[in-house]
Protein backbone atom coordinates (compact mmCIF):
# COMPACT_ATOMS: atom_id res chain seq x y z
CA UNK A 1 0.00 0.00 0.00
CA UNK A 2 1.35 3.43 -0.87
CA UNK A 3 0.84 6.42 1.34
CA UNK A 4 -0.40 9.68 -0.05
CA UNK A 5 2.03 12.58 0.08
CA UNK A 6 1.97 14.44 3.35
CA UNK A 7 0.92 18.07 3.39
CA UNK A 8 3.60 20.65 3.98
CA UNK A 9 3.67 21.85 7.58
CA UNK A 10 6.03 24.02 9.55
CA UNK A 11 6.47 24.31 13.29
CA UNK A 12 7.07 27.68 14.93
CA UNK A 13 7.55 28.45 18.63
CA UNK A 14 4.25 29.31 20.29
CA UNK A 15 3.87 32.89 21.47
CA UNK A 16 1.18 35.25 22.67
CA UNK A 17 0.10 35.86 19.05
CA UNK A 18 -1.26 32.28 19.05
CA UNK A 19 -3.43 32.76 22.16
CA UNK A 20 -6.72 33.70 20.48
CA UNK A 21 -6.73 30.66 18.17
CA UNK A 22 -5.79 28.35 21.05
CA UNK A 23 -8.55 29.78 23.21
CA UNK A 24 -11.08 29.30 20.39
CA UNK A 25 -9.95 25.69 19.90
CA UNK A 26 -10.15 24.91 23.62
CA UNK A 27 -13.79 26.00 23.53
CA UNK A 28 -14.50 23.40 20.80
CA UNK A 29 -16.03 20.35 22.57
CA UNK A 30 -14.13 17.94 20.28
CA UNK A 31 -10.73 19.43 21.13
CA UNK A 32 -11.55 20.07 24.79
CA UNK A 33 -12.66 16.49 25.45
CA UNK A 34 -9.67 14.94 23.71
CA UNK A 35 -7.05 17.03 25.49
CA UNK A 36 -8.67 16.55 28.90
CA UNK A 37 -9.05 20.15 30.07
CA UNK A 38 -9.91 20.28 33.75
CA UNK A 39 -11.20 23.88 33.85
CA UNK A 40 -13.14 26.08 31.49
CA UNK A 41 -10.69 27.86 29.19
CA UNK A 42 -10.19 31.61 29.31
CA UNK A 43 -8.06 33.83 27.12
CA UNK A 44 -6.08 35.00 30.17
CA UNK A 45 -5.30 31.41 31.30
CA UNK A 46 -4.22 30.62 27.74
CA UNK A 47 -1.87 33.62 27.73
CA UNK A 48 -0.52 32.67 31.17
CA UNK A 49 0.23 29.12 29.95
CA UNK A 50 2.05 30.53 26.91
CA UNK A 51 4.18 32.82 29.11
CA UNK A 52 5.01 29.91 31.45
CA UNK A 53 5.85 27.59 28.57
CA UNK A 54 8.27 30.14 27.07
CA UNK A 55 10.19 30.35 30.38
CA UNK A 56 10.21 26.63 31.23
CA UNK A 57 13.26 24.75 29.90
CA UNK A 58 11.31 21.48 30.17
CA UNK A 59 8.75 22.61 27.57
CA UNK A 60 9.05 23.15 23.83
CA UNK A 61 5.70 24.33 22.46
CA UNK A 62 5.10 24.81 18.75
CA UNK A 63 2.32 26.06 16.54
CA UNK A 64 1.56 23.86 13.55
CA UNK A 65 1.40 25.96 10.38
CA UNK A 66 -0.25 24.62 7.26
CA UNK A 67 -0.59 26.82 4.21
CA UNK A 68 0.80 29.65 6.35
CA UNK A 69 -2.09 29.39 8.83
CA UNK A 70 -1.85 28.29 12.47
CA UNK A 71 -3.98 25.13 12.57
CA UNK A 72 -2.87 23.36 15.76
CA UNK A 73 -0.18 22.80 18.34
CA UNK A 74 2.40 20.21 19.24
CA UNK A 75 4.14 20.26 22.60
CA UNK A 76 7.15 18.44 23.95
CA UNK A 77 7.09 18.78 27.72
CA UNK A 78 8.38 17.00 30.79
CA UNK A 79 11.72 17.12 29.00
CA UNK A 80 14.15 15.19 31.17
CA UNK A 81 17.73 16.01 30.18
CA UNK A 82 19.15 13.24 32.41
CA UNK A 83 17.32 10.28 30.82
CA UNK A 84 16.74 12.14 27.54
CA UNK A 85 12.97 11.73 27.35
CA UNK A 86 9.95 13.96 26.76
CA UNK A 87 6.18 13.69 26.60
CA UNK A 88 4.47 14.67 23.36
CA UNK A 89 0.99 16.08 22.90
CA UNK A 90 -0.65 17.35 19.75
CA UNK A 91 -3.97 18.61 18.53
CA UNK A 92 -5.20 20.05 15.28
CA UNK A 93 -7.65 22.77 16.28
CA UNK A 94 -8.91 23.83 12.87
CA UNK A 95 -11.60 21.34 11.81
CA UNK A 96 -10.81 21.79 8.09
CA UNK A 97 -7.20 20.71 8.70
CA UNK A 98 -8.16 17.39 10.30
CA UNK A 99 -8.13 14.13 8.39
CA UNK A 100 -5.67 15.28 5.72
CA UNK A 101 -2.33 14.15 7.19
CA UNK A 102 -1.52 17.47 8.89
CA UNK A 103 -1.15 15.83 12.30
CA UNK A 104 1.08 13.08 10.89
CA UNK A 105 3.30 15.66 9.17
CA UNK A 106 3.47 17.70 12.40
CA UNK A 107 4.35 14.58 14.39
CA UNK A 108 7.23 13.84 12.02
CA UNK A 109 8.49 17.43 12.34
CA UNK A 110 8.25 17.33 16.15
CA UNK A 111 10.04 13.99 16.33
CA UNK A 112 12.76 15.31 14.04
CA UNK A 113 13.28 18.14 16.54
CA UNK A 114 13.13 15.78 19.52
CA UNK A 115 15.67 13.32 18.16
CA UNK A 116 17.77 15.88 16.27
CA UNK A 117 18.10 19.25 17.99
CA UNK A 118 17.12 18.02 21.48
CA UNK A 119 19.03 14.73 21.11
CA UNK A 120 16.41 12.79 23.06
CA UNK A 121 16.44 9.02 23.41
CA UNK A 122 12.68 8.53 23.80
CA UNK A 123 9.42 10.40 23.29
CA UNK A 124 6.29 9.12 25.02
CA UNK A 125 2.62 10.02 25.17
CA UNK A 126 -0.73 8.95 26.55
CA UNK A 127 -3.91 8.79 24.51
CA UNK A 128 -7.39 7.68 25.53
CA UNK A 129 -8.47 4.45 23.86
CA UNK A 130 -11.44 6.04 22.06
CA UNK A 131 -9.21 8.45 20.12
CA UNK A 132 -8.68 6.01 17.26
CA UNK A 133 -7.59 8.62 14.71
CA UNK A 134 -4.79 9.81 17.00
CA UNK A 135 -3.69 6.24 17.75
CA UNK A 136 -3.48 5.52 14.00
CA UNK A 137 -1.41 8.67 13.46
CA UNK A 138 0.95 7.80 16.33
CA UNK A 139 1.46 4.25 15.04
CA UNK A 140 2.06 5.53 11.51
CA UNK A 141 5.16 7.46 12.64
CA UNK A 142 6.57 4.64 14.78
CA UNK A 143 5.02 4.90 18.25
CA UNK A 144 4.36 1.53 19.86
CA UNK A 145 2.02 0.66 22.69
CA UNK A 146 3.95 0.15 25.90
CA UNK A 147 1.08 -0.21 28.33
CA UNK A 148 -2.51 0.50 29.24
CA UNK A 149 -3.55 2.60 32.22
CA UNK A 150 -7.04 1.71 33.39
CA UNK A 151 -9.61 4.44 34.11
CA UNK A 152 -6.91 7.10 33.78
CA UNK A 153 -8.91 9.65 31.75
CA UNK A 154 -12.26 11.38 32.08
CA UNK A 155 -13.99 11.57 28.71
CA UNK A 156 -17.29 13.44 28.80
CA UNK A 157 -17.73 12.55 32.47
CA UNK A 158 -16.94 8.85 32.04
CA UNK A 159 -13.73 7.04 32.86
CA UNK A 160 -11.65 5.73 29.98
CA UNK A 161 -8.44 3.77 29.71
CA UNK A 162 -5.39 5.37 28.14
CA UNK A 163 -2.60 3.83 26.15
CA UNK A 164 0.98 4.67 27.04
CA UNK A 165 2.93 4.81 23.79
CA UNK A 166 6.57 5.52 23.08
CA UNK A 167 9.09 5.83 20.31
CA UNK A 168 12.85 5.48 20.61
CA UNK A 169 15.34 7.42 18.53
CA UNK A 170 16.38 4.10 16.97
CA UNK A 171 12.74 3.45 15.96
CA UNK A 172 12.29 6.78 14.22
CA UNK A 173 12.82 6.67 10.48
CA UNK A 174 12.32 10.11 8.94
Residue numbers annotated as active site: 138
SS3 52: helix
DSSP 143: -
Residue 142 Cα distances to 84, 100, 108, 119, 123, angstroms: 18, 19, 10, 17, 11
C-alpha–C-alpha distance, residues 14 and 70, integer Å: 10
SS3 10: strand
C-alpha–C-alpha distance, residues 96 and 117, integer Å: 31
C-alpha–C-alpha distance, residues 146 and 95, integer Å: 30
Return the C-alpha torsion angle 35, 115, 106, 166, nearest 10: -40
| Listed residue (89, 114, 117) closest to 103, CA to CA | 89
Backbone angles phi, psi at 108, to 5 degrees: -60, -40
Amino acid sequence: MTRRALPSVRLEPLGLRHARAMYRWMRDPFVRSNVGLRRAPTLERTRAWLRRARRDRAIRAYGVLHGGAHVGNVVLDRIDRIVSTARLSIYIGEPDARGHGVARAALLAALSTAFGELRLHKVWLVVHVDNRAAIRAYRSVGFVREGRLRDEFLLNGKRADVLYMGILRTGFAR
